[in-house]
Amino acid sequence: MMNKYFIENLLSSIEDKKIAVVGDLILDSYIWGKVTRISPEAPVPVVQVRNKTYCLGGAANVMKNIVSLGGEAIAFGITGTQHAGHHFLSLMKDSGINIDYLTIDKNYLTIEKQRIIAESQQLARVDYEDTNTVPEYINDYIVSNLKELISAKTIEAIIFEDYGKGLINSEMLSSILDYANYYGVVTALDPHPNRKLLFKGITVATPNKNEAFALAGKYNNDLIDPPAKDPCLCEVAKIWEKEWGVEQLLVTLGSKGMVLYEKDKEPLHIPTKAKEVFDVTGAGDTVIAAYTLSLIGGAKPPQAAEISNHAAGIVVGKIGTSAVTKEELIAEFQD
């Protein structure tokens, strides 16, 4: 059984361990205000703005979670030089993320997701992005630099965070996975449901239920209780193992927790640890960060799943994209 001493020792063992994170980088911005009236121009609320804040989103939130838990995150991705790009770079530096391999391109539009919030409720979201601007050169740049880090034994894991914005592709994944598997580097993927990538042989994938079913080409049905015994979900897990060579499949199920599938082992259901749910933004980022860190810290897959479940339960209790801290995670476990 895991207690706070186990977690403290695990967190101590992952201090300064390096994880490369490859993925779509997003600036999350929040306009905070108060609804004062309904607009006379259209049946929409008028928000009196009180404040505007920025935080790291997409793959950058995975990086922030890694650093917050004591690891070192090495960023692989692209951002621009416009107003949003400057905010993004400032946040990356302030968060202690290694940006030595980050691509900064003046022709690239930094992806920004702007949320309008009043009375703790999200009223609307405005997206700024152009996914057609990912330059062709970045694929070779990422692959070659990752291979150098792998062969030099600088990193212990690679996380691929696909938000469907065009950075990650099948060629990139296959090239890196073959190399990482040869050197024994842990690999993890948080997939996007609209991008079925072709690859083989990854340590862990952490789709949510919708993503798991969509990418397996199966109808997304309501699950039976307990979810680990659901025949449709078990079939989906087998497809992931056969088609993509996934060693560990961790399917997140929202209020039903998560289910861990390992080859030749019984599925394990882990009930949710969330006490109150205010905002699920970025919860998947926390799951893959905590799970991967736990693995390279010496935890077994069921333990890593339990830890990531606790971590996700913490962040959904916060408003906005956020990361879990070491202190918060330790407090979740009793002696």
In a domain, 120, yes or no: no
| Nearest in space to 233 (alpha carbons), one of 197, 269, 199, 284 | 269
In a domain, 68, yes or no: yes
The owner of tokens 């933004």 is 281
Residue type, 246: V
Please enumerate, as own/partner, the contacts of 119-122 that have beta carbons within 8 Å and a separation of 24 or more.
119/34, 119/35, 120/278, 120/319, 122/279
Separation of alpha carbons 271 and 320, rounded Å: 23
Please enumerate, as own/partner, the contacts of 146-149 that have beta carbons within 8 Å and a separation of 24 or more.
146/20, 146/22, 146/76, 146/176, 146/179, 147/175, 147/176, 147/179, 149/20, 149/74
First to last CA, the chain: 10
Specify whether the backbone of 320 is left (phi greater than 0), alpha (psi in -120 to 50) or beta: left
In a domain, 321, yes or no: yes
The 10s digit of each residue's pLDDT in 238-267 is 999 999 999 999 999 988 899 999 988 999
What is the number of domains present in the chain? 1
pLDDT at 224: 79
CATH number, domain containing residue 289: 3.40.1190.20
In a domain, 52, yes or no: no
- For the chain, give percent helix, strand, coil, nearest 5: 40, 25, 35
Two tokens, residue 73:
């995150």
Separation of alpha carbons 236 and 29, rounded Å: 35
Query: DSSP code of 77?
Result: -
Going by C-beta distance under 8 Å and a sequence separation of 6 or more, which residues neighbour residue 166?
Answer: 24, 131, 132, 134
Are the beta carbons of 4 and 58 closer than 8 angstroms? Answer: no
Specify whether the backbone of 245 is left (phi greater than 0), alpha (psi in -120 to 50) or beta: left
Range of the domain at 184: 4-25+61-109+129-331
Two tokens, residue 246:
């996934």
In a domain, 38, yes or no: no
Give, in degrees to the nearest 5, the angle at Cα 96 between 93 and 102: 55
Write out the chain's pLDDT in tens, 335 residues: 688 899 999 999 999 899 999 999 999 999 999 999 999 999 999 999 999 999 999 999 999 999 999 999 999 999 999 999 999 999 999 999 999 999 999 999 999 999 999 988 899 999 999 877 789 899 999 999 999 999 999 999 999 999 999 999 999 999 999 999 999 999 999 999 998 999 999 999 999 999 999 999 998 888 878 888 889 999 999 999 999 999 999 999 988 899 999 988 999 999 987 555 555 667 899 999 999 999 999 999 999 999 999 999 898 877 666 789 999 999 988 75
pLDDT at 328: 92
In a domain, 147, yes or no: yes
Two tokens, residue 128:
């700024």
Are the beta carbons of 87 and 11 closer than 8 angstroms? Answer: no
Separation of alpha carbons 176 and 154, rounded Å: 15
In a domain, 33, yes or no: no
Q: Which residues are catalytic?
A: 285
CA dihedral sign, ordered 295, 300, 302, 307: negative
In a domain, 35, yes or no: no
